[in-house]
Structure 1
Amino acid sequence: MRKILVVGAGQSGLQLALGLQSHGYEVTLMSNRTADEIRSGRVMSTQCMFHTALQHERDLQLNFWESQAPKIEGLGVSVAAPGSWAEGPAARAIDWVGRLDGYAQSVDQRVKMAGWMETFAQRGGQLVIHGAAVGDLDYFSRTYDLVLVSAGKGELVSMFARDPQRSPYGEPQRALAVSYVHGLGPRPEHPDHYAVRCNLVPGVGELFVMPALTTSGRADILFWEGIPGGPLDVFNGVKEPAEHLSLTLELMERYVPWEHARATKVELTDAGATLAGRYTPTVRNPVGHLPGGGLVLGVADVVVANDPITGQGSNSASKCAASYLASILEHGEKEFDEEWMRGTFERYWETAQHVTKWTNAMLAPPPEHILNLIGAAGQLPPVADRFANGFDDPADFENFFYEPEKTAAYLASVS
């Protein structure tokens, strides 16, 4: 029986560990926190998982919360009229909702990771609660057939060198601020249907609103992405959750008053319901070389970390885990050498490159043809639907998004 160590118990680490376990591998999972500590801790992320990623969970029968989490059937885009907030609350220039072919869902990672970790242990997996350092991995690389590193923060990430060819940005492109809330009112235009709302405020940043399931039941996530140094970049140093929420609402009232109108009665879901920070989008070399000569393979956002502006983090983590699982199963009894590790990553990169290209494009000021496309989606439902479904399959953006000629040809074909 092949022995595999997975370091890091997030979406990808746990999905991969549970997947390998279901195929008879002897799996050890290292986490720096217990399931109870995760469940009662601070929120870790925003996550909206689209159809393909949800299907990977269903394939492993890990969709424990599917009946409880809101079914997100659409994705809406609103754009504030540039400069309209100078004199008072902003006005909307663009507003539409595209329908998703398969619904999306958001389950608070505190709920999911704690539940999956307990399931892994119940199924006989070895769970080690210990923060791993590079020195620990040196020892483990001699006792396991394969060591996978899926802990996307801290010392271990430094083993994986930045790939400058695939990483155009050298510093964070957004300041991030998250609040989980109860009491958000329904969208007036579709009170019975759940949708993710993407609100774009040109030159300032973005507000995302997504229905979710959290530790205390049904909730919504309010997520600001602010251009660094701009008016939304004000959460650094805010320690009190109540202050974080009131700042969130104040900014909503000015820049996205149509969302603020639904938020007048919101309150935080729990004491750990806020999060703020920033990180640099980076693609890294997938193979880490240990001081003693051993090799480890980086997983998900250890090797491809994108800004959350396109909501791809947990989707990419799920797709990476599914891709790596297939590569491990196909490899059979052969040695997990450096050539295999690089090939395994490149197979995942075939998917991840589209996410990275699209996310990096969305971080830059939109060129005219993109503004035309987003504007046209308000008049042409097929355009709105196609844009919405790109969140599930970002490879499709190659066909109509990046090049003005392709955008124009596509719009001509549907109008």
Structure 2
Amino acid sequence: MRKILVVGAGQSGLQLALGLQSHGYEVTLMSNRTADEIRSGRVMSTQCMFDTALQHERDLQLNFWEQQAPKIGGLGVSVAAPGSHDPGPTQRAIDWLGRLDGYAQSVDQRVKMAGWMETFAQRGGQLVIHGAAVSDLDYFSRAYDLVMVSAGKGELVQMFGRDPERSPYGEPQRALAVAYVHGLGPRPEHPDLDAVRCNLVPGVGELFVMPTLTTSGRADILFWEGIPGGPLDVFNGVKDPAEHLSLTLELMEKFTPWEYARATKVELTDAGGTLAGRYAPTVRNPVGRLPGGGLVLGVADVVVANDPITGQGSNSASKCAAAYLSSILERGEKEFDEEWMRATFDRYWDTAQHVTKWTNAMLAPPPEHIINLLGAAGQLPPVADRFANAFNDPADFENFFYEPEKTAAYLGSVAGA
């Protein structure tokens, strides 16, 4: 029986550990917190998982919350009219909704990670509650056939060198602020449809609104992405959750009054329902070398950390875990050497590179052809639907998004159809 150590109990680490466990591997999982500490702690993310990522969970029969979580059937895009937020109410230059072919879902990671961790232990997995340092891994690497690091923060990440070719940004491109709330009203134009709403405020940032399942049932996530140094970059140092929420709402009233109109009665889901921070999007070398010469393989956002502007973090983590699981199973009894590790990462990068390219493009001011594409989606429902479904398969953006010629050809074909 091959022994595998997974460090980090997030989406990818737990999905990998449970997947390997189901195939008879002897798996040890290291987490710096217990399931109860996770469940009662702060929110960790904004996650909206699209159909492909959800299917990886279904394949492993880990979709424990599928019946309770809201089924997200659409993705809406609004663009604030330029210059309209100073002074007077903001108008929308663009506002449309695309329909998803397969529904998306969001489950608060406090709910999911705690539940999965308990399942892993119940199924006989070795769960070690301990914050791992490089020195720990040096010791453990001698006892395991493979060590994988899926804890995306802290000193362990430093083992994996930055890949400058694939990392155009050296600094954070957005300041992030999240609030989980109860009491958000429906969008009047689609009161019965759960949808993710992407509100773009040019030169200022973005507001995302998405339905989720949290520890206290159904809720909604209000998520600001502010351009650093701009009017949304005001959450640094705000420790009081109530102050965080009131700032969130104040900014909604100013920049996205159409979303604020349904948020006048919201309250935080719990004292841990807010999160703020920032990080530079980075792609890293997938193989880490320990002081004693052992090798470790980086997983998901340890090696590919994108800004959350495209909502891909948990999707990428699920896809990475699925790709790595297949590679491990195919390896059989052979050694998990450096060549195998690099090939395993390359298999994941086949999909991840599309996410990175798209995300980095969305962080930059949109070129004219993208504004035209978003505008056309308001007139042409097939364009709105295709854009929405590309969140599930970002590789499709290659066909109609990046190059003005391809965008024009695609819009011409739809308009002429």
- Distance apart, 1:408 and its partner CA: 0.2
> What CA distance in whole angstroms lies between the structure 2 residues aligned with 1:87 and 1:284?
44
Q: Output the CA distance in 2 between the equivalents of 1:156 and 1:225.
A: 27
CA distance in 2, matches of 1:209, 1:282: 25
Question: How far apart, in 2, do the equivalents of 1:89 and 1:357 lie?
Answer: 34
Equivalence for 1:319: 319
CA deviation string 1:114-167 (max 9, x = no partner): 000000000000000000000000011100000000000001000000000000
Alpha-carbon deviations, 1:332-367, whole Å to 9, x = none?
Answer: 000000000000000100000000000000000000
Give me the whole-angstrom Cα distance separating, in 2, the residues matched to 1:66 and 1:361: 32
Residue 118 of structure 2 corresponds to 118
Give the Cα separation in 1 of the matches to 2:59 and 2:87: 52
Deviation string, structure 1 residues 18-50 (Cα, Å, up to 9, x no partner): 000000000000000000000000000000000
Q: Give the CA deviation at 1:90.
A: 1.2
1:320 alignment partner, SS class: helix
* 1-structure distance, mates of 2:336, 2:269: 44
Instruction: Determine helix, strand or coil for the equivalent of 1:93.
Output: strand
How big is the alpha-carbon RMSD for the aligned residues of Structure 1 and Structure 2?
A: 0.4
TM-score normalised by length of structure 2: 0.99
Counterpart for residue 378 of structure 2: 378
Structure 2 residues without counterparts, runs of 5 or longer: none
| In structure 2, C-alpha distance between the alignment counterparts of 1:82 and 1:152, rounded to whole Å | 37
CA deviation vs aligned residue, 1:183-225 (integer Å, no higher than 9, x gap): 0001101111100000000000000000000000000000000
Give, in whole Å, the separation in 1 of the partners of 2:19 and 2:232: 40
Structure 1 residue aligned with 2:258: 258
In the other structure, the counterpart of 1:168 is 168
Per-residue CA deviation, residues 99-125 of structure 1 (Å, 9 max, x unaligned), is 000000000000000000000000000
The aligned residue for residue 61 of structure 2 is 61
Q: CA deviation at 1:249?
A: 0.2
Tell me, in whole angstroms, the C-alpha distance in 2 between the residues paired with 1:39 and 1:346: 34
- For the residue of structure 2 that corresponds to 1:319, the secondary structure is helix
> Is 1:286 aligned with 2:321?
no
CA distance in 2, matches of 1:90, 1:206: 14
* CA distances 1:372-415 after superposition (whole Å, capped 9, x unpaired): 00000000000000000010000000000000000000000006
Q: CA deviation at 1:240?
A: 0.2
SS at match of 2:297: strand
Q: Secondary structure at the match of 1:143?
A: coil
Q: How many residues align?
A: 415
Residue aligned with 1:377, SS: helix
SS of structure 1 residue aligned to 2:156: helix
* Other structure's SS at 1:153 match: coil
Task: Give the alignment of 1:386-405 within 5 angstroms.
Answer: 386-405=386-405
Counterparts of 1:145 and 1:206, CA distance in 2: 44
Indicate the SS of the match to 2:74: strand
Q: Distance in 1 between matches of 2:199 and 2:240?
A: 26
Question: How far off its partner does 1:89 sit?
Answer: 2.4
Query: For 1:70-106, what per-residue CA distance to the aligned partner results, in whole angstroms no more than 9, with x for missing partners?
Result: 0000000000001100112211110000000000000
Q: Deviations over 1:278-335 (max 9, x none)?
A: 0000000000000000000000000000000000000000000000000000000000
Q: Distance in 1 between the 2:46 and 2:233 partners?
A: 18
Provide the rounded CA distance (Å) in 2 between the counterparts of 1:183 and 1:348: 39
Counterpart-to-counterpart distance in 2, 1:82 and 1:127:
53
| Runs of 4+ displaced beyond 3 Å | none
Q: Could you tell me how far apart the structure 1 residues matched to 2:305 and 2:390 are?
A: 19
Inter-partner Cα distance in structure 1 for 2:352 and 2:34 = 30
CA distance in 2, matches of 1:91, 1:229: 24
Equivalent residue for 2:25?
A: 25
Q: How many Å separate the matches in 2 of 1:82 and 1:309?
A: 20
Following superposition, the deviation at residue 181 of structure 1 comes to 0.0
Could you tell me how far apart the structure 2 residues matched to 1:82 and 1:39 are? Answer: 42
Separation in structure 2 between the aligned mates of residue 326 and residue 395 of structure 1, nearest angstrom: 21
CA distance in 1, matches of 2:193, 2:229: 36
Task: Name the TM-score, length of structure 1 as normaliser.
Answer: 1.00
Match of 2:352 in 1: 352
Alignment partners' CA distance in 2, 1:347 and 1:273: 36
Asked if 1:195 corresponds to 2:195, the answer is yes
Instruction: Judge which range, 88-97 or 26-35, deviates more.
Output: 88-97
Q: Secondary structure at the match of 2:124?
A: coil
Please give the secondary structure, in 2, of the residue aligned with 1:165: helix
Q: Answer with 202-211 or 87-96: which moved more.
A: 87-96
Q: Supply the distance in 2 between the matched residues of 1:91 and 1:328 (Cα, whole angstroms).
A: 52
- Which region of structure 1 is more displaced relative to structure 2, 293-302 or 82-91? 82-91
